[in-house]
């Protein structure tokens, strides 16, 4: 449980990390506006110079400011991505979440930074540089949205309504369970979105749930999970347990993100 003092300290830290995420976003936008060549990783997923520039900036900055805290990024070398179950506190970074959206020019890509403490995300930043949009959250301390230079405003999830459920799905990775879920709803409203912005739609009360039955890694979900939880929702594995961090190989099981914690979501996906 996060104490009020700890939540306040995390909120103060959030401003500093938001600034880092925005600067990383500026690195990304340089390539986004001027074009960039695409290469492929060993798993055939796309990689751009923008990914590397954001990774280098964020990992170097976080290590300089917090030298005693491990930093793990999607673009870290394999030796730096080993299991961290024996480490209580570490940073998780996705320097460019939604590389496919970046390549397609949709603007729906983000910079994700999360602080993990004892297996839980306690601070999360999701910044969409092309949209000049930032979400941030603190475990048991609230979540906020900031557009451009406007003051940040608190965000909250909404009550779920079975008769008109809004479901978020990935543009590129909607799995078979999503189709089955939609078939059970009387009048589902489907929203498609790239990157971690899918989670944020639930956090700000624009959608009710996001089901993801295809693989994700911990850096894909940590920052957004903290924002969802701070807004009153939750991110769970399909057995109903909150998604935890520091797992072997940093790989997530199938997950469901929900806004209304009082709703019987398990009845929809069982």
> How does DSSP classify residue 72?
E
Confidence of residue 162 (pLDDT cuts 50, 70, 90): confident
Q: Where are the beta strands (DSSP E) in 101-196?
A: 110-117, 120-128, 133-138, 142-147, 153-154, 166-170, 189-193
Model pLDDT, residue 170? 67
Considering only CA atoms, which of 78, 18, 32, 27 is closest in space to residue 52?
A: 27
Q: How far out from the chain centre does Cα 269 lie?
A: 22
Q: Is the pLDDT of residue 40 over 90?
A: no
pLDDT in tens, 224-237: 999 999 999 999 99
**In this structure, what token pair is assigned to residue 21?**
């995420």
**The residue to which tokens 């979501």 are assigned:** 265
HSE toward the beta carbon, residue 246, CA cutoff 13 A: 16
Largest Cα separation within the chain, whole Å, is 52
The answer to whether the CB of 259 falls within 8 A of the CB of 96 is no
Residue 75 has pLDDT above 70, yes or no: yes
Confidence grade of residue 62 (pLDDT, cut at 50, 70, 90): very high
Domains parsed from the chain with CATH numbers: 4-154 (3.30.540.10), 162-269 (3.40.190.80)
User: Which position has the higher pLDDT, 30 or 36?
Assistant: 30
Query: What are the backbone dihedrals phi and psi of residue 195, each rounded to the nearest 5 degrees, phi first?
Result: 60, -160
Q: What are the backbone angles phi and psi of residue 75, rounded to the nearest 5°?
A: -95, 10
pTM value is: 0.93
Mean pLDDT of 18-43: 84
Question: DSSP string of 20-52?
Answer: HHHHHHHHHHHHHHH---EEE-TTS-EEEHHHH
Q: Is the pLDDT of residue 39 over 80?
A: no
Mean pLDDT score, 135-159: 96
**46 band by pLDDT with thresholds 50, 70 and 90:** low
pLDDT (0 to 100) of residue 202: 97
Mean pLDDT of 240-263: 92
pLDDT band at 171 (very low <50, low <70, confident <90, very high): low
Whole-number pLDDT of residue 69: 93
Q: Which helix (H) or strand (E) holds 251?
A: strand 251-252
Q: Is the pLDDT of residue 174 over 80?
A: no
């Amino acid at each position: 449980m996060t104490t009020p003092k700890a939540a306040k300290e995390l909120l103060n830290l959030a401003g500093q990390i938001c600034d880092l995420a925005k600067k990383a976003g500026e690195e990304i936008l340089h390539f986004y506006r001027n074009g960039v060549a695409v290469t492929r990783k060993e798993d055939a997923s796309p990689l751009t110079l923008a990914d590397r520039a954001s990774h280098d900036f964020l990992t170097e900055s976080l290590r300089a400011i917090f030298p005693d805290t491990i930093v793990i990024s999607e673009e870290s070398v394999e030796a730096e991505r080993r299991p961290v179950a024996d480490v209580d506190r570490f940073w998780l970074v996705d320097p460019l979440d939604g590389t496919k959206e970046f390549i397609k020019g949709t603007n729906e890509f983000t910079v994700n930074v999360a602080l993990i403490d004892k297996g839980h995300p306690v601070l999360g930043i999701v910044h969409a540089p092309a949209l000049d949009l930032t979400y941030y959250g603190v475990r048991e301390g609230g979540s906020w949205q900031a557009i451009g230079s406007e003051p940040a405003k608190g965000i909250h999830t909404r009550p779920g309504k079975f008769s008109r459920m809004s479901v978020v799905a990935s543009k590129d990775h909607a799995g078979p369970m999503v189709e089955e879920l939609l078939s059970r709803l009387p009048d589902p409203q489907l929203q498609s979105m790239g990157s971690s912005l899918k989670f944020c739609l639930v956090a700000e009360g624009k959608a009710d749930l996001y089901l993801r039955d295809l693989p994700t890694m911990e850096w894909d979900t940590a920052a957004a999970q903290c924002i969802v939880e701070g807004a009153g929702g939750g991110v769970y594995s399909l057995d109903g347990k909150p998604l935890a961090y520091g797992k072997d190989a940093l790989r997530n099981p199938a997950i469901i993100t929900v806004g209304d914690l009082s709703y019987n979501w398990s009845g929809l996906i069982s």
